[in-house]
Every structure is written in structure tokens, then in C-alpha cells.
Amino acid sequence: MVSKSKKIVALLLTAMMAATAFAGCGGGETTTSSTAPAASTASTSGDTSASGDASQTQASTTAEAVDLDSADMLQKIKDQIAQEAAATENVVSMTVWCSGDDFQFEKTLVKEFEEKYADSRYTFKIKVNGSIGEDSAGGKITESPKDGADVFSFADDQLSKLVEAKAIAPVGAIFQNNVIANNTADSVAVCSMDGVPYAFPKTSDNGYFLYYDKRIFPTEADVASLDDMITKAAAANKNVYLNISNAWYNTGFYFSAGVDITYQNGLQKANFDSEEGLKAAKAMCHVAESQGKGFEGTAGTMGDNAAVQQGFAEGTLAAAVIGTWVGPAIKQAIGNDNVGAAKLPTVLMGDEQVQLHSFGGYKVIGANAFSKYTVTAQTLAYFLSNPDSQLKRYQERGLIPTSNQALNSTYKDANGNDVVVKDDPALQAIEAQAPFAHAQGQSVGGKYWASNVAGFGGEIVTAKGKISDDKLKESLKNLQAQMD
């Protein structure tokens, strides 16, 4: 139980936070760096000098969360929006970037935001662009921050580049406590750098695991080994999908074999030219020997999402290594009761079965440091990621929340059945895979993705694993050179 003195301190800090509610919502100029550029249009808020201030960040971890839905706070936020809108003829014109899969859902949330913060003093004109998803948003913003979206979703491994480019605004002080209180500790941690929070946690599913058809694999033992799965799938005239021509997926083999893949301070390291690298390559070759006969190792020109959706819909797939974003389509294709989810299976390496590793992480939301509407952008970013929005995103899109409240929620599905979020098999699969999942930001950078890691995997699939050890070693040596 919190002591009386601690309660008093918390209340005092809360009062201080209310007095400087929008500190941290300033424009491109921030105290986190002495060389930060000035924003293209300065915020009209008179209270922005403490943007990103470490003392405020420390205070926010101690103070109680703010009731942002109280009449008083709603009015204060609307007043700030009105001040910003006054500089642009009382029109708040902003852009939101999201993935194509999220486009319709994000548009609905933005409409709800506009209704919640509507005021006679200004008009919202917020455009949602679904062509720039989490995988590319960070790169697009850093190329030209002033031309980027005001609010954008991105994978957590892009945060360091956004901070280095001074393209992302620190989370405003008014929102910091709520973000900390609302979300899991890990998701909050990946949204911060050097103690300063820069992003709002959105989903905890930026990784992959195994979806499978329980009619083909009725027990957990049936999905323990990839070899066994391929055999059972082939007997049913179906395939197990694992795109080893995609670097995001085939890197799991290298992790499993013990290849040291790290990305720190802009330096990429990966000892492909090693016994461990050869072990991983030979494991991929072994799996690829079953290409088209119980195994499918490439998406062709379709892309993974489309390939998996089509495969389950047409009955050619029995299982797939993919993420939650395809979960709803799989359920629709084979029926919710037939969908199973589990950690990745083991793969044969040498003469032993080894647990297959993966990437894992979060999708988060940021506000552009150069937005003309700094407070409005932060408020929208928070709204899109608050517990209610996360729960709705899970209900409609199947994306796993980072919000503790959403994770512990129960709701009625379309059939009137009680759904307990934390009991979702996909969530349990993510948790089971977590010990074998690697953070992208600590493992790979741009040089890695630009290398031939994907191409090498594609060669293995095309050859159906019929590649000599000497040829594998040569390819691994070339990969090594691309890292050095």
C-alpha cells in the first residue's frame, strides 16, 4: 500500500503536471538535443519550453495518471487545439499514415476523435493515408520530416533513427503517466530512449508464430516439429508455409543456429561465415527439399499476407508462420473453431531438433516533431493508442493490445459468446515464442535488409535444397562481406 507521504507527493506532482499539461508537446525544437532544428511552424501554445525535459519524464513516472476525459481536461485540450488552429484560419489539416490493412479501421477511429474533440472554433480536416505502413513509415519520415505525416504508426526498431533525425516529438507530459499506467512495461520501454518517451504503444504483435488447422494437427504434439508437420500436411495434400525467401522469416534459422546478429550504434554484425551459419543454411536446405510436397517456402509475387490468406481460403495450406494481422482472414477461411496457434516448431539442425527463433516487437505511434499542430497531433496519437482504441483494434483486426486494461477485458463477439482477450491462442503463442524472439532494433539495421539474406533463401527454395556445402559456404562468405 502506498504511504500517506507518497500519496501527497503524487498529488502534488499531479497538480504540477496539470499546470504544465502541454509541456513536451512543442514543435521540432526540443531540449533533448542542443542541435535540434526549429519546427517549420512554431506551436502557438505558450507552454512548450519543457519539451522532452528529463525532470518531467522522471516526475511522470511517479505522479498519478491524468483523467483526460474529465470535462476540465477536455476543455483545456480543445483550447490548445483552438490556439493551434487560429494560425491556419481555424482549420486543423493533418495527415495520418497507417498500413493498408488498418486503413478503414483507422479512419473510423479518426472520425471518433473528431467527434470527441469537436468545437465551434475550428474544423478538422484529417486525411488517413493507408499506403505507408509500419514497415516503411519511419524511413519516409526521416527522409523528409517536414513533408511527413503528422501522426504515423511504425515498428519499434525504427525509433532510434527517428530520434537521431529529430523527426519525432517527445510524448507530451500530459500523456506520459497515462501511457505508463495503461501499457505493459516492455512496450513502454521500447517507446523511450535515454529516459525520454517518444512514442505511444499500439500493438504487441510485430513478430510471428504458427497458425495451423486443428483438423490436420489436432494435438500440440502435432505442431512440435516442422518435419512432422510437413509429413502430415503432405498426407493431406496441403503445405506448411514458411517463407525462407524473406529475410524477416529466414533469419530465425540463423538465430536458432547461434549466428551472432547484432546492430548497435549503427554497426551491423553477423557472423554468417561460420559453422553456425552453415548449420542454419543446411537446415533451410533440408526443409526446402519438401518444396511443393508438404512445404511452401516462398510467396512468389503475392506477398506473405495474400499468399497465406489465399492458401487457407483455397485449402492448400495446413499451417503458416505469420503474424496476428492475418488471423481474422484465417479464421474466416477455415472457421474460428479450427484455428490453432502455437510457438514456432523445432527444425532439424545436424542430428538434433532445435527450437526455431523469430523476430518480435511492437508497433507504436508517433507524432511528427515538425507538425504545425503539435498538441493536436499528440492528442490524436494518444487517442489512437488508448485502451479503448486498442480493445476495438483487437476486436475488429485481431491485433494484440499492449494495454493492460484491454488485455484483461472480456467482451461479447458477434455470436454473443464471451471473449477473454488474455485467453486468445494467438496471444498465448506470442508469449510462448517470446523467449526465442529477438528485438529487431538490437539485431538488424538497414544494411542487413539491403543484403542478400532474402535472395540466398530464395536460391535455396528454387533449388529445393539441392545446394552443395561448398556453394553454401561461398554464399555465406558473400553475406559476411556485406555485413563488414
76-104 mean pLDDT: 96
Predicted pLDDT of residue 293? 97
Confidence check: pLDDT of 152 > 90: yes
Q: 315-328: per-residue pLDDT in tens?
A: 999 999 999 999 99
Q: Spell out the alpha helix ranges (H) of 46-136.
A: 54-60, 71-86, 103-116
Residue 430 pLDDT: 94
Please give the model's pTM, rounded to 2 decimal places: 0.79
Q: What is the pLDDT of residue 225?
A: 98
Cell of 374: 503539435
Q: Helices then strands (H, E): number in the chain?
A: 21, 20
Residue 201 has pLDDT above 50, yes or no: yes
| pLDDT at residue 45 greater than cutoff 50 | no
Residues 6 or more apart whose Cβ sits within 8 Å of residue 344: 208, 209, 210, 252, 321, 355, 356, 357, 358, 433, 436
Task: Note the pLDDT tens digit of each residue in 237-292.
Answer: 999 999 999 999 999 999 999 999 998 878 899 999 999 999 999 999 999 999 99
Q: What is the pLDDT of residue 197?
A: 96
> Which three cell numbers, joined as nine digits, stand for 104?
478503414
Residue 25 and residue 151 in contact, taking contact as beta carbons nearer than 8 Å: no
Q: From 401, 330, 358, select the one nearest 207 (Cα to Cα).
A: 358
3-state secondary structure (DSSP) of residue 95: strand
If you average pLDDT over residues 404-429, what whole number do you get? 91
Q: What is the pLDDT of residues 94-113, one digit of tens each?
A: 999 999 989 999 999 999 99
What pLDDT shows up at residue 22? 57
Residue 199 or 264, more confident: 199
Cell numbers 543454411: residue: 281
In order of their start, the domains of the chain are 4-205+362-402 (3.40.190.10), 209-360+413-483 (3.40.190.10)
Average pLDDT, the chain: 87
Mean predicted confidence (pLDDT) in 167-196: 94
Mean pLDDT on 35-45: 27
**pLDDT computed for residue 24 by the predictor:** 55
Cell of 447: 544494411
State the pLDDT confidence band at 475, using cuts at 50, 70 and 90.
Answer: very high
62 pLDDT above the threshold of 90:
no
CA gyration radius, the chain: 24
Crossing angle (nearest 10°) for helices 374-385 and 103-116? 120
Query: 394 near 176, Cβ under 8 Å?
Result: no
Q: Are 339 and 211 in contact (CB under 8 A)?
A: yes
Complete edge-to-edge strand list for the sheet that includes strand 317-322: 295-296, 239-241, 317-322, 209-213, 339-342
For residue 164, pLDDT over 50 is answered with: yes
